[in-house]
Amino acid sequence: MAATVEFLNVHKSFGHVEVLKGVDFVVEPSQVVCVIGPSGSGKSTLLRCVNHLEVTTSGAILVNGAMVGYDVRGDRLVEAPEAEIDRRRAKIGMVFQSFNLFGHMTALENVMVGPVKLLKTPKAEAEKQARELLARVGLADRADNYPSQLSGGQQQRVAIARALSMKPDVMLFDEPTSALDPELVGEVLDVMKQLAADGMTMIVVTHEMGFAREVADVVVFMDGGVIVEQGSPDDVLLRPQHERTRSFLAKVF
C-alpha cells in the first residue's frame, strides 16, 4: 500500500547544532522523491527522523497521517508505547549504504526473520514469501548463500528484499549504491526502478543523478539543513534556480 509522507516544519538539533532548520515537503502516494545535496546537509538525519531513529526537535513527520513516535490525546502529544513504535516502524522499510544483513543467516533467513519474529507469520508461509521476494530482486538461486558469499550488489538486493518482507508502506533509501563497486550499481538501481514502477512510495537519498532524472517524480536539493529547491528532475537538475544548486551539480555531474 502506498503511503503519504508529510514533513511539517521539521527541526532537529544535536546539542547546540541545528542540522535540520525547518523542512517542509509532502510525498504523495506512489511518488519517488530523490533527495540530493552535499555531505553534511542533513539528508540522512531527515530520513532517520521518518522512522523515529532520530527524534525531531520540533515539527512533525506524518506517515499515512500518523506520527511514528507519538499519539494525539485530545490537544496534546504523548509518546507512543515502545511496542507500538516498533510496529509502525516495521511499515517503513529502510535500506542503508552498508547492507546490514545478519551475517550468520542465509539470504533466505535474512528475508524471513522479520515476518517470523515480528509479524508471527508461520514459517512455511514466511519462506514462500521470502523466496518470491528473492526472485523479485533476481536472487532466486542465492537463497542458501550467506552474505559473505554474495557480492555487494547481491547483498544490497537481499537487504531490499528483507525490507519488503514487512510489506512496508514506504521505502527509505540512504545512498544505497554508494558503497558498491561501479559495476554493481546498476543491478541495485534496476531493482529500485522496478519497485518504483510497482507503485512503491520511495524517498531516495542518492548521488546517482541518472537514476534521479529517470525515476524521480520530484528532486529535492538540500543544503545546510534546509530545502533549497525542489521540483521535477528536469527543473532541478537541468534548470536549477539557485546558485547553491548550480555549484553542487557542477561538482557531481
Binding residues for ligand ADP, rule: CB under 6 A, are 14, 19, 37, 39-45
**CB-nearer residue toward Mg ion: 38 or 138:** 38
Tell me whether residue 174 or residue 187 sits nearer to Mg ion (CB atom): 174
Which contiguous run of DSSP H or E holds residue 26? strand 17-27
Q: Output 35 or 150, the one with its CB closest to Mg ion.
A: 35
Query: Which of ligand ADP, Mg ion, none binds 42 (CB below 5-8 Å, type-dependent)?
Result: ligand ADP
| Backbone torsions φ then ψ of 71, nearest 5 degrees | -120, 150
Cell of 108: 533466505
Footprint of Mg ion on residues 36-55 (CB under 5 A)? 43-44
- Choose between 37 and 114: whose C-beta lies nearer to ligand ADP: 37
Please choose which of Mg ion, ligand ADP, none residue 14 contacts, taking the beta carbon within 5 to 8 angstroms, the exact cut-off set by kind: ligand ADP
Q: How far is the CB of 57 from ligand ADP (least distance, A)?
A: 12
Q: Which of Mg ion, ligand ADP, none sits in contact with 31, Cβ below 5 to 8 A by type?
A: none
How many other C-beta atoms can be found within 10 angstroms of the C-beta atom of residue 82? Answer: 8
238 burial type by CB count under 10 A (0-12 exposed, 13-18 middle, 19+ buried): exposed
Q: Checking phi first, is residue 53 left (phi over 0); if not, alpha (psi -120 to 50) or beta?
A: alpha
Say how many residues make up the chain: 253
User: Which partner from the list ligand ADP, Mg ion, none does 40 bind, CB cut-off 5 to 8 Å by kind?
Assistant: ligand ADP
Say which residues have a Cβ less than 8 Å from residue 184's Cβ, sequence separation at least 6: 151, 152, 153, 177
